[in-house]
């Protein structure tokens, strides 16, 4: 059967539980991958989310920050997680869907404000995280079968993924060194950018708009930080992709908009 998968940096699942319910009602994704759940596993609102139809859940959370979740209306097979950079900071989980697709949900470190690993430990952490991702997939055994990588990767790689390529070249999330590292991750897994298969690279596309803007929609100074990638065996099953920009305008919403892809049978 067809499957709809959404990824969303929700910026606190408990605060925005009502918005998750609205997303489930209006977009009806079969699987929702969340980042920045900001809650320990024992306090995760599992029952409330199960009442929305997402009875199959795989979570990894921390108090106050980070945290990822895979919420599914479909049964989940084998699940797991990796501890990148040996920090134990809940930035990756994976689960196998009924169609055999191995789904990876990532929250890559933001990297702080200074794009210099020598001066900024957060930026050094981000680059190391990306190096480990690339090394992890740079093995034939890792690339077997149909896989999907989703999440807040905190990098806008293309010139059309940011509101101003020139002005953001020295801003964390669009610096050449970050893009180079992300390109290596993509190459190591032979990943295909699912969203850009439907929305051409020549077209501006954003998934994040800062809270600092008085009128984020009018200013439209966005960045495409949230991504969905698939391996080549899954690419031909793609049937559509979209960014739900309107969700950014919901009352007290996250500063990220959900991204959705549709897969055929």
Instruction: Catalogue the E-assigned strands of 17-76.
Output: 31-35, 56-60, 68-72
What class does CATH assign to 3-263? alpha beta
For residue 110, pLDDT beyond 90? yes
Q: Across the beta sheet with 68-72, what order do the strands follow?
A: 56-60, 68-72, 31-35, 3-9, 259-263, 238-243
Structure tokens, 206: 């954003």
Say what the pLDDT of residue 142 is: 83
Say what the pLDDT of residue 89 is: 93
For residue 246, pLDDT beyond 90? yes
3-state secondary structure of 248: helix
At 98, the pLDDT band (50, 70, 90 cuts) reads: very high
Say what the pLDDT of residue 134 is: 97
Structure tokens, 167: 């002005």
Q: Average pLDDT, stretch 8-17?
A: 98
For residue 46, pLDDT beyond 90? yes
Say what the pLDDT of residue 139 is: 87
For residue 63, pLDDT beyond 90? no
Q: Nearest-5° angle of CA 228, CA 32, CA 207?
A: 45
Predicted structure pTM score? 0.97
For residue 80, pLDDT beyond 90? yes
Structure tokens, 142: 């890792």
At 1, the pLDDT band (50, 70, 90 cuts) reads: confident
118-156 pLDDT per residue, tens: 999 999 999 999 999 999 999 888 888 899 999 999 999
Q: Average pLDDT, stretch 223-250?
A: 97
149-192 pLDDT per residue, tens: 999 999 999 999 999 999 999 999 999 999 999 999 999 999 99
At 65, the pLDDT band (50, 70, 90 cuts) reads: confident
Cβ(229)–Cβ(149) below 8 Å: yes
Q: Average pLDDT, stretch 205-219?
A: 95
Q: Average pLDDT, stretch 52-79?
A: 96
Say what the pLDDT of residue 64 is: 81
DSSP 8-state assignment for residue 165: H
Cα–Cα distance for residue pair 182/204, rounded to 1 Å? 19
Q: What count of other Cβ atoms lies within 10 Å of the Cβ of residue 52?
A: 16
Helix-strand-coil percent breakdown of the chain, rounded to 5? 30, 25, 45
Cα–Cα distance for residue pair 54/39, rounded to 1 Å? 18
DSSP 8-state assignment for residue 197: G
Residue whose C-alpha is closest to residue 60's, from 31, 80, 86, 87: 80
Burial environment of residue 120 by CB neighbours within 10 A (0 to 12, 13 to 18, 19 or more): middle
Say what the pLDDT of residue 181 is: 98
């Amino acid at each position: 059967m067809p499957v709809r998968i959404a990824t969303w940096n929700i910026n606190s699942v408990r605060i925005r539980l009502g918005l998750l319910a609205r997303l489930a009602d209006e977009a009806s994704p079969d699987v929702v991958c969340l980042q920045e759940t900001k809650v320990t596993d024992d306090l995760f609102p599992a029952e409330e989310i199960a009442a929305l139809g997402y009875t199959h859940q795989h979570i990894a959370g921390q108090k106050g920050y980070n945290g990822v979740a895979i919420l599914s209306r479909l049964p989940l097979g084998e699940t797991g997680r990796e501890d990148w950079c040996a920090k134990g900071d809940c930035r990756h989980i994976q689960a196998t869907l009924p169609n055999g697709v191995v789904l990876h949900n990532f929250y890559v470190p933001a990297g702080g404000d200074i794009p210099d690993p020598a001066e900024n430990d957060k930026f050094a952490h981000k680059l190391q995280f990306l190096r480990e991702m690339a090394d992890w997939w740079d093995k034939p055994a890792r690339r077997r079968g149909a896989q999907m990588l989703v999440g807040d990767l905190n990098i806008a790689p293309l010139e059309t993924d940011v509101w101003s390529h020139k002005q953001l070249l020295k801003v964390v999330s669009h610096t050449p060194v970050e893009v180079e590292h992300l390109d290596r991750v993509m190459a190591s897994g032979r990943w295909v950018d699912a969203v850009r298969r439907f929305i051409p690279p020549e077209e501006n596309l954003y998934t994040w708009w800062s809270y600092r803007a008085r009128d984020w929609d009018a200013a439209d100074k966005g960045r495409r930080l949230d991504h969905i990638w698939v391996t080549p065996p899954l690419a031909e099953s793609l049937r559509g992709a979209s960014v739900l920009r309107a969700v950014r305008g919901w009352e007290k919403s996250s500063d990220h908009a959900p991204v959705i892809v549709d897969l055929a049978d």
